Chain A
Amino acid sequence: MSLVLDHLGLTVAAVPVISEVSLTLERGTMNVLLGPTLAGKTTLMRLMAGLDRPTSGRLLLDGKDITGVPVRRRSVAMVYQQFVNYPTLSVYENIASPLRVAKLAKAEIEARVQSAAKLLRLEKMLDRTPLQLSGGQQQRTAIARALVKRADLVLLDEPLANLDYKLREELREELPRIFAESGAILVYATTEPTEALLLGGNTATLWQGRLSQVGPTASVYRQPRNIDAARVFSDPPLNELALDKRGSAITLADGRQMPAAGPLRDLADGSYRIGFRVDAVRVGGGMPGALSFPGQVSVTEISGSESFVHVDVGLATWVCLVRGVHEWEPGAPAEVHVDPGRIYVFDAAGAVMGQPAERETV
């Protein structure tokens, strides 16, 4: 079974909200829609579900045009960012509700609810009502309800966004396993690159209503084809620098010149923009062969395992990763070294022209 989005578009009040989205989703696959807030993720999911009708393009299920088929006649389940449950029903009845509507036999309902409850570790909560549960358990209940339906298409719209980060961490770990067994076409919308990487499968990066790239998640992360995909797939944000390349040298906006290193070396003369992630730079110390920029620390953000030093290098403020907890004082001078072997080069249109060589992986 496959769902094909064929040049799907949606225009609202003459403004294009979704433009030319083409995508093939196969049964039993995890498909991540990655994009910032307002990129069009929810809108696109509503088109897939049949909640809204596209203004152009077609939706094909196993080759059959279902564009105009209303949601109630499709096999779709959806989980939202807000925890949507029936507050007066028990957890058991919440999970069972779509099966009761479908008038399934009692024994079948019992079997499906129990197995979903087991998968989502809700077995001991079945007699409670949703308001007696933690946020994590409430969302587990909503996910269990989406699973028991055995819908062809399961849409998860930022399901972990409203959870505390420790709960998010826990559920994020479990989700791929839970969904691997469902056999449905899974679509999972998120703003977070880390979440996409943990979910694996395929990722489509969405920016301003357009897909900027589609492919296996890890390869979209490591080999973005354009600057939109690279930006969407970077958190903290992608560090960037505009430059002109002439012969064996590059010139920056302030007139500074540096040798054309890394993938810049073999490019034709012209204007480019380079992008590099937080782990392609080193702050302080030295790095042979690096492009080095003196700057000043503006702030250090600390997550625990990682510290992110924001350094103002004059032409831009870049974010640099330091492992562990390391506080750099605001205002302190700091030199940023960019590893030329880890940069992406984009042309004026944003297409990737050079990128790091693939690294060995396990």
Chain B
Amino acid sequence: MARITLDGIAHAYGRPKTEQDYALKKLDHVWEQGMAYALLGPSGCGKTTLLNIISGLVTPSEGRLLFDERDVTRLPTEQRNIAQVFQFPVIYDTMTVAENLAFPLRNRRVPQPQIDARVAEIAAMLDLTSDLNRRARNLTADAKQKISLGRGLVRSDVSAVLFDEPLTVIDPALKWELRSKLKAVHRALDLLMIYVTHDQIEALTFADRVVVMNDGRAVQIGSPADLFERPEHTFVGYFIGSPGMNFLPAAIEGTTALVDGHRIPLGAAYPTLPGGKIQLGIRPDFALLRRGGGGVPVQVRRIDDLGRRRLAHVTLGSCPLIATVPPDMTLDGSEAAVDLSPAHLHVYVDDHRVEGLAP
């Protein structure tokens, strides 16, 4: 059990000349015991580098890594007391499922009755109970990966459990089930879990806190609701949600935004803004199409019927925007308007969200 502290951690492969050379840019963060974190971002964002620093596969170029108060920056993996689950199953084919699950405990000479109890508990959580006495060799890839997950979770005394894209090999139809299981396991066990993924559903479902990474930087660390409702960076607005947030070039006058000559009321006041590129951000979910008679006028270019929702691709002035079409709305022609919910309009200066004042 531990909290893990990143104290000015940064990493470059090779010798860095500029900040751009860092695969992971300077990061201070504390991972709390009992919490589940996800590292989320596209390929090359630095999430795996960060995980490897925590596991000991990579020694950071700068900064210190503390497990509680102990400096482990230069300690090898085996001295860090962590469990790891990888993309592909790591199990012993010749052992039974029960023996596989018991292995990390047996290695540490845990008394047999304790091993039996813990193996039974973990097997029940992962729906492996009926397979306990089967050899691992003959199981499906999905079942094997469940055993890997079980082996990662079976020790209760680890500082952290690290997951590196653990659902990659799982059949899409079964991902639902395993995501649920992992979540339930997190609720049931008091472990610090860190989970690397590029899949937003896995990250948002599993984690209490999601670290969104882009280009070597942690651009926001927040709850799933924070990331959706108050993206602190335009990248978070784009990356979370499907489709991502709309961004419109704007000028701000107090409690009003000006977009291509249209006045849009804001939910807050912005008396002084730092200089830089100003954008107005709103998610498609909070921009509702209407038939005019109020709202901001738009031209409808196309409507996508996604089954349980319809999205209108419109232009506001010359700016493209995606809006939600209310369930029973009909439209004639391409003239329409959008209601932009003031509470969900955000102002970004040079890609960073600026907090407004109560109007």
Chain B associates with chain A: yes
Name the distance in Å between A160's Cβ and chain B's nearest Cβ.
13
Bound-state Cα–Cα, A36 to B308, Å: 20
Interface set of B (CB-CB < 8 Å, partner A) = 42-43, 171-173, 176, 179-180, 183-184, 187, 198-201, 204-205, 224-225, 227-229, 238-244, 283-285, 303-308, 310, 325, 327-331
Q: Which of B180, B204, B310 contacts A303 (CB 8 A)?
A: B204
Closest to A359 in B: B328
A301 x B330 contact (CB < 8 A): no
Given A298-B180, A304-B242, A330-B183, decide whether A360 and B330 contact each other with a Cβ distance below 8 A.
Answer: yes
Given A166-B42, A302-B205, A305-B242, decide whether A236 and B184 contact each other with a Cβ distance below 8 A.
Answer: no
Q: Write the A166-179 contact mask toward B (1 if CB under 8 angstroms, else 0).
A: 10010000000000
Q: For residue A193, which residues in chain B have a CB less than 8 angstroms away from its CB?
A: 307
Q: For residue B304, which residues in chain A have a CB less than 8 angstroms away from its CB?
A: 197-198
Which stretch in A2-10, A96-104, A319-327 binds the other chain?
A319-327
Name the distance in Å between A163's Cβ and chain B's nearest Cβ.
10
Closest to B304 in A: A198
Closest to B199 in A: A165
Name the distance in Å between B41's Cβ and chain A's nearest Cβ.
10
Q: For residue A298, which residues in chain B have a CB less than 8 angstroms away from its CB?
A: 180, 184
Q: Write the A275-293 contact mask toward B (1 if CB under 8 angstroms, else 0).
A: 0011100000000000000
Bound-state Cα–Cα, A166 to B244, Å: 9
Q: For residue B183, which residues in chain A have a CB less than 8 angstroms away from its CB?
A: 299, 330
Given A323-B285, A362-B329, decide whether A301 and B205 contact each other with a Cβ distance below 8 A.
Answer: yes
Bound-state Cα–Cα, A218 to B304, Å: 11
Bound-state Cα–Cα, A198 to B310, Å: 10
Q: For residue A36, which residues in chain B have a CB less than 8 angstroms away from its CB?
A: 172-173
Chain A count of residues within 8 A CB distance of the other chain: 40
A321 x B308 contact (CB < 8 A): yes
Q: For residue B180, which residues in chain A have a CB less than 8 angstroms away from its CB?
A: 298-299, 301, 310
Name the distance in Å between A60's Cβ and chain B's nearest Cβ.
33
A362 x B283 contact (CB < 8 A): no
Q: Which of A151-166 contact B (CB under 8 A)?
A: 164-166
If A194-B306, A304-B204, A304-B242 are given as contacts, then 19 extra A-B residue pairs at C-beta distance below 8 Å, sorted by A number, are: A166-B42, A169-B242, A197-B304, A221-B307, A299-B183, A301-B201, A304-B227, A304-B241, A305-B242, A305-B283, A321-B308, A325-B225, A330-B183, A330-B187, A360-B328, A362-B325, A362-B329, A362-B330, A362-B331
A324 x B228 contact (CB < 8 A): yes
- Check: A135 CB closer than 8 A to any chain B CB: yes
- Check: A300 CB closer than 8 A to any chain B CB: yes
- Check: A37 CB closer than 8 A to any chain B CB: yes
Bound-state Cα–Cα, A122 to B225, Å: 36
Given A165-B200, A278-B308, A302-B205, decide whether A324 and B285 contact each other with a Cβ distance below 8 A.
Answer: yes
Q: Which of B184, B204, B305, B330 contacts A218 (CB 8 A)?
A: B305
Given A37-B172, A194-B307, decide whether A303 and B201 contact each other with a Cβ distance below 8 A.
Answer: yes
Q: For residue B303, which residues in chain A have a CB less than 8 angstroms away from its CB?
A: 362
Q: For residue A191, which residues in chain B have a CB less than 8 angstroms away from its CB?
A: 172-173
Name the distance in Å between A179's Cβ and chain B's nearest Cβ.
16
Given A300-B205, A325-B204, A362-B329, decide whether A166 and B225 contact each other with a Cβ distance below 8 A.
Answer: no
A305 x B241 contact (CB < 8 A): yes
Q: For residue B327, which residues in chain A have a CB less than 8 angstroms away from its CB?
A: 359
Q: For residue A310, which residues in chain B have a CB less than 8 angstroms away from its CB?
A: 180
27 A/B residue pairs, CB under 8 Å, sorted by A: A37-B171, A134-B43, A164-B198, A165-B199, A193-B307, A194-B307, A197-B307, A198-B306, A277-B307, A277-B308, A279-B308, A299-B179, A299-B183, A302-B201, A302-B204, A302-B224, A304-B204, A305-B228, A305-B241, A305-B285, A324-B229, A324-B285, A325-B204, A325-B229, A359-B328, A361-B310, A362-B329
B242 x A165 contact (CB < 8 A): yes
B310 x A362 contact (CB < 8 A): yes
Name the distance in Å between B308's Cβ and chain A's nearest Cβ.
4
- Check: A333 CB closer than 8 A to any chain B CB: no
Q: For residue B331, which residues in chain A have a CB less than 8 angstroms away from its CB?
A: 362
Closest to A278 in B: B308
A166 x B308 contact (CB < 8 A): no
Q: Write the A53-77 contact mask toward B (1 if CB under 8 angstroms, else 0).
A: 0000000000000000000000000
Name the distance in Å between B179's Cβ and chain A's nearest Cβ.
6
Q: Which of B184, B225, B227 contacts A299 (CB 8 A)?
A: B184
Bound-state Cα–Cα, A280 to B173, Å: 21
- Check: A341 CB closer than 8 A to any chain B CB: no
Q: For residue B284, which residues in chain A have a CB less than 8 angstroms away from its CB?
A: 305
Q: For residue A277, which residues in chain B have a CB less than 8 angstroms away from its CB?
A: 307-308
Closest to B42 in A: A164
Pick the 5 closest A-B CB pairs, nearest first: A304-B241, A302-B204, A299-B180, A279-B308, A325-B225
Name the distance in Å between A324's Cβ and chain B's nearest Cβ.
7
Q: Which of A161-220 contact B (CB under 8 A)?
A: 164-166, 169, 191, 193-194, 197-198, 218
B229 x A301 contact (CB < 8 A): no
Closest to B239 in A: A166
Q: Which of A333-362 contact B (CB under 8 A)?
A: 359-362
- Check: A28 CB closer than 8 A to any chain B CB: no
Closest to A317 in B: B180
Given A298-B184, A304-B242, decide whether A197 and B305 contact each other with a Cβ distance below 8 A.
Answer: yes
A301 x B224 contact (CB < 8 A): no
Q: For residue B187, which residues in chain A have a CB less than 8 angstroms away from its CB?
A: 330
Q: For residue A321, which residues in chain B have a CB less than 8 angstroms away from its CB?
A: 308
Bound-state Cα–Cα, A321 to B330, Å: 23
- Check: A237 CB closer than 8 A to any chain B CB: yes
B42 x A169 contact (CB < 8 A): no
A37 x B241 contact (CB < 8 A): no
Q: For residue A304, which residues in chain B have a CB less than 8 angstroms away from its CB?
A: 200, 204, 224, 227-228, 240-242
